[in-house]
Structure 1
Amino acid sequence: MSTELVKWIREQLDEDERIARGCSGTDWWEHPKNWVSAPQLNRVALAVHDGDRAHILRHDPARVLRDIDADRALIAEYLAAQETVDATAHPDMYDVGRAQGLEEAVRYRALRFDARTGYREEWRP
């Protein structure tokens, strides 16, 4: 995998983290009559449609931050696995397969950003 892909994904994660932290990073709570709120911040939003309310509750800033942490851990695991393969004259097939599998996982995770500026078709799994 290209180092450009890893760099680009990290930039996307950094931007998403910046936005999520700007929203407070707290969990949103559901209230009757289609209201959702972040009570710790005295923030309330009205979601007119049930689907909108469900989406806000499911994809609150706290969850986005957890997803970002998981993606960063996945990238770190991939880089460590690839480093092991690169540092060994005759790498074990387990190590090669692990690195390839983690690379594929990183490429799939990058797909959610494919509409953003800078995504390259060559990165598609």
Structure 2
Amino acid sequence: MGIVEFLEARIAEDEAVAKAALHHPRTYNKATQDFDQTGTDNGSWHTSSFCDPSDQRMVEGVGITIYNEGGHTAEQADHIARHDPARILREVAAKRAVVVEHKLVPAKNVWGESTGGFGCELCDSTPDLDLGGIEIERSDGCKTLRTLAVIFSDHPDFDEEWRP
């Protein structure tokens, strides 16, 4: 597995987890004695308090409440709220854009001939010399992709050689 495939897989996993955390709110309908779906969740969460306004350990969003029953600190609640599904989905889109922008392309020499290697056109080109992309010694991605991959360094498929 190359670095691009690794990143695409990890980004897809983050997306799936964020989408699974979205809640489709329902309200109880007394007439039917059942729950009706009332809309969709935008995935935004925030901290609040239950009784004591100074205690911001409760996390709330559409269809979700994590109560402040002593299981987490106010700082942990803030962390949970800051990394809500809406933010993760924005990060997924941004990371995908970076991966697309920095995919490896066939490297060419000064005469435009293929060198048989690969390089990142964006990071490793020298526009003023019009080399059309300089081959990088590493075949595992430019520094940008390797830096992005470090986010997932705790994953078993992470290759230590990808570290910048």
TM-score by length of 1: 0.79
Partner of 1:30: 47
In structure 2, what residue type is equivalent to 1:36? V
Partner of 1:69: 93
Partner of 1:113: 152
Partner of 2:126: 93
Deviations 1:47-94 (A, max 9, x none): 530111110111111111111111100010012xx43xx364426613
Question: 1:30 deviation in Å?
Answer: 2.0
Partner of 1:46: 67
1:17 paired residue among 15, 20, 24:
15
Tell which has more relative contact order, 1 or 2 (C-alpha 8 A, sep 6+): 1
> Greater Rg, structure 1 or structure 2?
2
- Structure with the higher fraction of residues in helix conformation: 1
Question: 1:28 deviation in Å?
Answer: 0.3
Taking the aligned partners of 1:18 and 1:105, their CA distance within structure 2 comes to 24
In structure 2, what residue type is equivalent to 1:44? T
Query: 2:3 touches 2:145 (CA, 8 Å); kept in 1?
Result: no
TM-score by length of 2: 0.61
Taking the aligned partners of 1:46 and 1:8, their CA distance within structure 2 comes to 36
The RMSD of aligned alpha carbons is: 2.5
In structure 1, what residue type is equivalent to 2:12? D
In structure 2, what residue type is equivalent to 1:20? A
- Structure with the higher fraction of residues in strand conformation: 2
Gaps of at least 5 residues in structure 2 are 23-41, 50-54, 113-124
